[in-house]
């Protein structure tokens, strides 16, 4: 099937030792179902391939910020890459180590900077001169010294979807390569700042090694220039962006990635760090959904399911392709005549863009369960309440054990913070 952790047994799709039919019965649909063993395997793959090369792996919380997932990764020694005060609070609530946490993002507020300074994070990844001066003033006011790194834009083409490509000059991210040197000097001269590192992030879902190598080499050039200026760095953070297989992509083997880092950074004293999100969690989960109605016709056959773009926005937003599996396999003797078609899997939301998949050859009946695959990253994390739809629940399977790691949202909670005018 998809990985060892999601396999068919007697015609039914299982997550580890639990049938997805049982999860649907117990928790309803739509629901996100994760495999703990799959997460452990992904984490182990990082340790095995990158141990001895990358000193600290900071998981990008934005990919999937569920406390249970953050906690498991924290227990395995992972650090975290956060982009908001909210994500910082999540990391702390999950038992993550602030001293292993880096703070990225182009728009950090003063309040967020204060919270991160109080928590004692590893470093702020600075993305502009303006942000640098606000951080310096904030740290000075609190009597703190802020550890800083600049996110440098190496101007390389990551060859990925334009919405998730970030390393080109025209992107809003990072400081321009040519301006970095002056900014480092400026930062080094400020008493409320301590220059500790340099970082980059060139995009997401990258499946070619060459852009990473090119960007890493450019970063190293700059590190050498800074060294000559008397600015010694403690770490080099090469960001996230490692792609995964949704359909037929060929992901970069982590071993090859590690080898590239060894070659580029051979003999350097700085410790290497990285910020992967997707590669750690994409394959740990499926979105379980039930077919509500079948609407066959010309030119398209619609299977309307109870999950929508509110649960998984990637298809609508990026035309992303996710595999869709029937949870219960129809036997060939079973009468499925008329139902075996190329189905568009669509949700109940009032938008034409509300689809999960197009033209999937499946034998479907109303009431059937489907599993949308490879949704552990940027699935639940990007969900919304559009159309007053409560968010799905999240369930973690561990062998034959099932734990509800986030309850399904209650409809009445959706307007808890709202007020009707008195007159
Ligand atoms: N570090 C920084 C500074 C980032 O901006 C990101 C992701 C990461 C690390 C982690 O990247 P990853 O290893 O997951 O590729 N919502 C999109 C992906 C957006 C990625 C944004 N930045 C999607 O669903 O494809």
Please write the tens of the pLDDT for every residue from 187-210. Answer: 999 999 999 999 999 999 999 999
Task: For residue 165, report the distance from its CA to the centre of ligand 1, in Å.
Answer: 9
**Position in ligand 1 atom list of the atom nearest CA 105:** 3
Task: For residue 171, report the distance from its CA to the centre of ligand 1, in Å.
Answer: 14
Q: How high is the pLDDT of residue 340?
A: 86
Is any ligand 1 atom within 6 A of the Cβ of residue 174? no
Alpha-carbon distance 309 to 315, whole Å? Answer: 8
Residue 370 has pLDDT above 60, yes or no: yes
- % of the chain at pLDDT higher than 90: 90
Q: How high is the pLDDT of residue 332?
A: 55
Alpha-carbon distance 365 to 153, whole Å? Answer: 50
Is any ligand 1 atom within 6 A of the Cβ of residue 201? yes
Average of per-residue pLDDT across 408-417 = 97
Q: Catalytic site residue 123?
A: no
Q: How high is the pLDDT of residue 164?
A: 65
Task: For residue 9, report the distance from its CA to the centre of ligand 1, in Å.
Answer: 34
Alpha-carbon distance 280 to 80, whole Å? Answer: 12
Residue 1 has pLDDT above 90, yes or no: no
Alpha-carbon distance 138 to 12, whole Å? Answer: 57
Q: How high is the pLDDT of residue 144?
A: 98
Residue 170 has pLDDT above 70, yes or no: no
**What single-letter DSSP state applies at residue 239?**
-
Placement of tokens 């773009």 in the chain: 309
Task: For residue 118, report the distance from its CA to the centre of ligand 1, in Å.
Answer: 26
Alpha-carbon distance 382 to 108, whole Å? Answer: 20
Among 181-190, 307-316, 324-333, the range scoring the smallest mean pLDDT is 324-333
The helix (H) or strand (E) run that includes residue 177 is helix 177-188
pLDDT, averaged across the chain: 95
Per DSSP, the three-state class of 133 is: helix
Is any ligand 1 atom within 6 A of the Cβ of residue 103? no
Among 2-6, 147-151, 363-367, 404-408, the range scoring the smallest mean pLDDT is 2-6
> Which residue CA neighbors atom 5 of ligand 1 most closely?
201
The arrangement of strands across the sheet holding 12-15 comes to 6-9, 12-15, 18-19
With cut-offs at 50, 70 and 90, classify the pLDDT of residue 339.
low
**What single-letter DSSP state applies at residue 410?**
P
Q: How high is the pLDDT of residue 388?
A: 98
With cut-offs at 50, 70 and 90, classify the pLDDT of residue 4.
confident
Residue 171 has pLDDT above 80, yes or no: no
Q: Are strands 193-199 and 285-295 parallel, antiparallel or unpaired?
A: unpaired
Is any ligand 1 atom within 6 A of the Cβ of residue 241? yes
pLDDT digits (tens, 9 = 90+) for 257-286: 999 999 999 999 999 999 999 999 999 999
Is any ligand 1 atom within 6 A of the Cβ of residue 81? yes
Alpha-carbon distance 126 to 78, whole Å? Answer: 22
Alpha-carbon distance 23 to 265, whole Å? Answer: 47
């Amino acid at each position: 099937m998809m990985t060892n952790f999601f396999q068919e047994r007697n015609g039914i799709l299982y997550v580890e030792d639990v049938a997805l039919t049982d999860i649907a019965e117990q928790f309803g649909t739509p629901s996100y179902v994760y495999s703990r063993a799959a997460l452990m395997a992904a984490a182990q793959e990082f340790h095995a391939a990158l141990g001895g090369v990358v000193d600290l792996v900071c998981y990008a919380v934005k990919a999937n910020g569920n406390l249970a997932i953050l906690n498991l990764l924290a227990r395995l020694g992972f650090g975290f890459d956060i982009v908001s005060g909210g994500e910082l609070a999540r990391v702390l609530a999950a038992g993550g180590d602030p001293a292993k946490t880096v703070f990225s993002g182009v728009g950090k507020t003063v309040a967020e900077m204060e919270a991160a300074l109080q928590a004692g994070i590893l470093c702020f990844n600075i993305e502009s001169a303006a942000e640098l001066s606000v951080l310096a003033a904030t740290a000075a006011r609190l009597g703190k010294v802020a550890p800083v790194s600049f996110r440098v834009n190496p101007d390389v083409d990551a060859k990925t979807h334009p919405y998730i490509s970030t390393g080109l000059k025209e992107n809003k991210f990072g400081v321009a390569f040519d301006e970095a040197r002056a900014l480092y000097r400026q930062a080094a001269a400020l008493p409320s700042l301590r220059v500790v590192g340099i970082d980059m992030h060139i995009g997401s879902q990258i499946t070619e090694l060459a852009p990473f190598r090119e960007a890493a080499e450019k970063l190293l050039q700059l590190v050498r220039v800074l060294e000559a200026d008397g600015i010694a760095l403690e770490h080099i953070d090469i960001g996230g962006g490692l792609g995964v297989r949704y359909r037929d992509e060929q992901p970069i083997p982590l071993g090859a990635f590690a080898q590239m880092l060894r070659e580029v950074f051979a003999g350097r004293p700085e410790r290497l760090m990285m910020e992967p999100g997707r590669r750690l969690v994409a394959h740990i989960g499926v979105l379980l959904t039930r077919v509500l109605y079948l609407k066959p016709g010309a030119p398209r056959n619609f299977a309307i399911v109870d999950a929508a773009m509110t649960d998984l926005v990637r298809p609508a937003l990026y035309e992303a392709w996710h595999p869709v599996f029937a949870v219960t396999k129809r036997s060939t003797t079973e009468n499925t005549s008329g139902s075996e078609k190329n189905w568009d899997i669509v949700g109940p939301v009032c938008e034409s863009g509300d689809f999960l998949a197009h033209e999937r050859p499946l034998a479907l009946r109303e009431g059937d369960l489907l599993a949308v695959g490879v949704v552990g990253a940027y699935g639940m994390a990007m969900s919304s309440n559009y159309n007053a739809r409560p968010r799905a629940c999240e369930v973690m399977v561990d062998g034959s054990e099932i734990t509800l790691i986030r309850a399904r949202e209650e409809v009445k909670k959706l307007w808890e913070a709202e007020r009707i005018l008195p007159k």
